[in-house]
Amino acid sequence: MTTRKHIFAALVFALLSTVLIFSWFRYGHLYGGGDVGIPSYDPQRIVEIAKFVWWDSSAPGALVPHGVTSLPVQFFQSMLVQAGLPYFVVQATLFWILLFLTGYGMFLVGLSVFGKDKLLLAILCGLFYVLNPYMMIQVWHRFIHNSFFLAAFLPFFYLFWDDWIKRGKFISILFFLLANIFGVYLYGTIAFAVTIVFVLSFIFLRHVFIPWQGFKFFKEITFRFISGLILWFLIHLWWILPTFSITPALFSSQHRTFDSVSTLITLSRQTGIPYVLSGVNPFYLFEQADFGGIYKHPVFLAIMFLPLVFLLPGFIAAIRSKKLAGWGILLVMAVFLAKGAASPFGFTYIFALTKVFVLGVLRNPFEKMGILLPFSSAIIMTAGFKWYLDRFHDKQVKSFKILLGALLFLQLGIFLWPLWSGRLIGKFDKLALVEVPKYYREADIFIKEQKKEGKILHLPLPLGESASYNWPYALSGIESSQLLFNSLPSISRGFNIDHVDDIISAASNIFREKVADEKIIAILQSLNVRFIVLHKDIRWQGGFLDNPLKLEEILDSKRFLEKKELLGSLIVYEMSERYFKPRIYNTSYVNFLSRGERNSFWPFLLFQNNIDLISPVNPADWSIDTVQTLILPTKSWTFHPKDIAFEKAILELPAASKILPGSRLYFLIKLKEDIRILKSLGMDKLKLKLDFLGKRLVEAIRLKEKGKTPEASINVYRKLLVEVFYTDNLKDQLDFIGGRGFVNDLFAKHLIILDTLEGVKGVKDELLMALRKSELIPMYDVVSDKNTEDLEYTTYHFQVPSNDEYELLMAEEGVRNVYADKLEKFEFQIDGEKKQLRGEFTDGFISYGKVKLDAGKKEFTLVATPSANLFDYPAESGIEVSSSDKKNSFFEAKIEPLTSNTWYTIKFEAWIKSGDKFRLQFISDGNVEYEKFFTRDDQNGWNKYRESILFNKPVAADAKVRFLVDKADSAVIFRNIKIERLLNNPIFLRSLSFPQSAIESVPGVEFTQYSPVYYSGKIELERGGFVIFSEAFHKDWQLKLHSNGKTLVPKERFLANMYANAWFVPAGDYTFELEFTPQKTLYWGMLISGITACAVVIFYLGKIKKWLKK
């Protein structure tokens, strides 16, 4: 192969990349949004952020260890920016290079496979790899940048690794490692490391077994494989070390095996063989129709399967050829891996995922392993093309060539029209173009010029990770304020981490008219907020964000905020100096807070200025003086005691078979059940066990009816009960098996049946004990004079630290007016004992006075009292709603008071006079949140209805219930309408009786921030106190105190203000260092990787020297 031919091929792929890039970037804007945000916007800023494993720019701080893999590419992009190129040209340049590498790399693979003289076949190979539906949809349209790099570098990895394994040439492993360094960004999606290791192992195994060449050869290439893999591992150690030393805990909490399997099964519905063989993701192509409806047209569907014309003969030709057999096998494996749990043999994947936790990273196999489809099919299709050429070479050459050309034109041209026409990224009619308005940079410069420490709070503040803007070319996807503002860290989104989201939720919700200034100040202080940036250009509609105009009114009215600058659609406010709290400060003035499971209302506890809330990571260790003790419920739940008839209970449990215990054939029933349990997985197994528990009870009843003893069934029931509650931990799986209500109803039936069985003493008690221990029913029976059938109860469990008197408080006092006696008299059941307590409105709460409690677990139960009717209308008066045949008709009832996480009950009577149905809707801010149809039953006349609706939108201006009659000449009369709010306000305990020796804190901390992971300074404390660091809590933040040549590292960790870090420091003068220790693993990794790289190069140079000497 001459150099000229290589240049020709390079020019072909350069031309192809140039045409595509000009088509994509002809609008002159960046592409962005979705999962990646705007990675080509200000790459210098990204380099600054990504070189640390802790990102303080995403305030209040986030752990992103694998972000370091983006460093080389961002460094390259930042060089282009420094050269004066606009951001969109930088992005276009990067995409051009990647496209070129994708095609040219595959061309080189093609040459190695088909022979160095097969220029056109190799070029075709490259074209098939660049131009196919998988590349169009799953790589470029999906817009995951790691995938771009995987697609571009995979051919090079293959080429060099194959040569290393085959020939053992050191230059090949050197190039392989070099390609890995350049393409390291692909490992930003950790699952792609599995894809790469799979390819490397496949190449090795192919050379070992296809064909087997004896043990000597096996030993030789095994050595190359292992040594190559070790070098690959060492060269990547700089990002592997921090990622895997910190991330496993993150993985286990965020992605449980059950979730992974559920995701796999759901996604595998989209990866049936028809889609995988065509490389098409039906979600984007058909369901979302991102490229328009044309792809559903039969002609396009036919083109979708055209690759089979080349694939089928190509596959046969491949497996019959020594050179290509491996590629045929790789294609089959690629299809098998990419289809996930889809048929055939889909259970293999599910089984593997449940047994090997790490495989959870492949729960979206089409995305993670799918690149192997175009990679292997590019070779097989070229083989198919060659097969046609060989077969028809001499016959009807012209018409045959035209036919082949037409097929390629349809497949690579017409079908991929969005790729050619630049309608690829985003939707075909609404591209994901982004142009950040200039006023963002102006606002950032303004804040930078203030030269002040602190953080920026962006409002409205999304609780999730995404936001959308109203810019002409708007960003819609991951919230990117951390890139748009490099002056100070940005608090601008949620993180899907419980304790951080609590404070984000608090900051998002505090700007309400009714919230006292001191509470707002306390939260802003605890978040180290210096500036507030109000985004009037955000898309806030939908009920999850505040209206920016309303926010502006509220912010304008705050005395502690100064409106500094109006820049475009942004308003910058600054916190007054006297209210600002630095990122690191000391305090000896704290409230002990025993955290609960529900912390979303916690900001209301921060009602005292300059008092921090401290929660020990291990509450048992607490021995520090505090001003107050605040105890939140460790668990709370609402339940509805049900009185079920025995006959109904029996009917609703699984029926028993005719073969009962005692029968010789009963072992078959057990065998069948055991097999069912054995083959079921995860939650299905638990559900089956619950079914079998019910079945045992029904069997016991049947035995009793036949005059036999039910002991055999009951003994099995007993064993299974222990398994379900204590081995399988039923209480932790409630959400996956139907919820608390379902489980309570189920065991209510069990209890009724157990009551009727004689001679099974103790079983009912065992069940009750298990239910209580699992916190499914209260520890103490509900004592009530009223008819419990209609009432629901809420039970709260508290962990009380010491024998004392505690004040009982209830939050959300604003709703008290709609309850009897304004909640001033309320009955609580405390550890089974009823107490009528008087409530007083104090500090924004209803205080029910002091109760004496012993240390330990305490239970409070109260009736989830229905409010007065929120619908103000004479009950008996009917409201007739009639619709014509052209128009709907309805009437509405407003919901007031409206609170989040609240159950509303709607009871009414209705008579469908004409027509056959009506609708009930729950509407909030104009959006229908809940809807139910009611149809006419056989009985005419009045019918009673009851609906319970949980309203859980965090932000809503108004809500109403709508009774709607559809257009069809219908008429419905409604009467006795009752809309009630069920009382489930949070309650908590407060104690003032701990020693109040605390005093006003004297500021004693001076510090300098050297990087996001390292601070140092001085601490001077006259008395022992807490040092609070307002960054998100992480166990690896380490405080080192130096005094008189000694170093003290406080081991005990505390959570400050529910999300931040705190340490208790004894009195004294110290210099201190505060460090995020996992950053060191990055440096160690870099050192080892660097040494490896140097060693490989030196070794290679040594070889060259030897060769020169020779």
Partner 1 sequence: MVKKITKLLFIFTASFPVLFFLNTGFSTDLLWKTFQTIVFSVLFSLSLVWPVLKKYFLILSGLLLIFMAVFFISGQSGWAEIFGSSGFGLVLLLLISYVPQLIKKGYIEHI
Residues that bind partner 1 (CB under 8 A): 209-212, 272-274, 277, 298, 301-302, 305, 308, 312, 315-316, 319-322, 324-325, 328-329, 332, 335-336, 342-348, 350-351, 675, 679, 681
Closest CB to partner 1 among residues 336, 1063 = 336
Check if the beta carbon of residue 1075 is closer than 8 Å to that of residue 1034. Answer: no
Give the distance from CA 86 to its chain's centroid: 34
Question: Least Å distance between CB 229 and partner 1?
Answer: 23
Q: Which residues contact 672 (CB under 8 A, 6 or more apart)?
A: none
Question: Least Å distance between CB 334 and partner 1?
Answer: 12
Question: Least Å distance between CB 958 and partner 1?
Answer: 44
Q: Which residues contact 284 (CB under 8 A, 6 or more apart)?
A: 137, 141, 142, 290, 291
Closest CB to partner 1 among residues 270, 902 = 270
Question: Least Å distance between CB 298 and partner 1?
Answer: 5
Question: Least Å distance between CB 677 and partner 1?
Answer: 11
Closest CB to partner 1 among residues 338, 506 = 338
Residue 818 to residue 872: CA distance in whole angstroms: 12
Tokens 């006003």 sit at which residue?
Answer: 1000
Cis upstream peptide for 313 (omega within 30°) = no
Extract the tokens encoding 62.
């986030």
Closest CB to partner 1 among residues 139, 334 = 334
User: First CA to last CA across the chain, in angstroms?
Assistant: 28
Q: Pairing mode, if any, of strands 426-427 and 430-431? A: antiparallel
Closest CB to partner 1 among residues 211, 856 = 211
Question: Least Å distance between CB 312 and partner 1?
Answer: 5
Nearest to 1028 by CA among 58, 322, 91, 1037: 1037
Question: Least Å distance between CB 676 and partner 1?
Answer: 9
Check if the beta carbon of residue 1096 is closer than 8 Å to that of residue 174. Answer: yes
Closest CB to partner 1 among residues 282, 543 = 282
Question: Least Å distance between CB 337 and partner 1?
Answer: 12
Check if the beta carbon of residue 125 is closer than 8 Å to that of residue 382. Answer: yes
Extract the tokens encoding 218.
């096996």
Question: Least Å distance between CB 209 and partner 1?
Answer: 5
Q: Which residues contact 408 (CB under 8 A, 6 or more apart)?
A: none
Closest CB to partner 1 among residues 146, 270 = 270
Q: Residues 92, 44, 79, 175: is their CA dihedral positive or negative?
A: negative
Distances (CA, A) of 479 to 68, 85, 462, 533, 588: 20, 25, 9, 14, 37
Question: Least Å distance between CB 302 and partner 1?
Answer: 5
Q: What are the phi and psi torsion angles at 707 (to 5°)? A: 75, 15
Closest CB to partner 1 among residues 344, 472 = 344
Residue 1007 to residue 677: CA distance in whole angstroms: 60
Extract the tokens encoding 919.
């609708």
Question: Least Å distance between CB 273 and partner 1?
Answer: 3
Percentages of the chain per state (helix, strand, coil), in multiples of 5: 45, 20, 30
Residues 24-40 as b or e (16 or more Cβ within 10 Å = b): bbeeebbbbbbebbbbb
Other CB atoms within 10 Å distance of the CB of residue 539 = 14
Q: Residues 1058, 1060, 1064, 1065: is their CA dihedral positive or negative?
A: negative
Question: Least Å distance between CB 680 and partner 1?
Answer: 8
Give the distance from CA 813 to its chain's centroid: 34
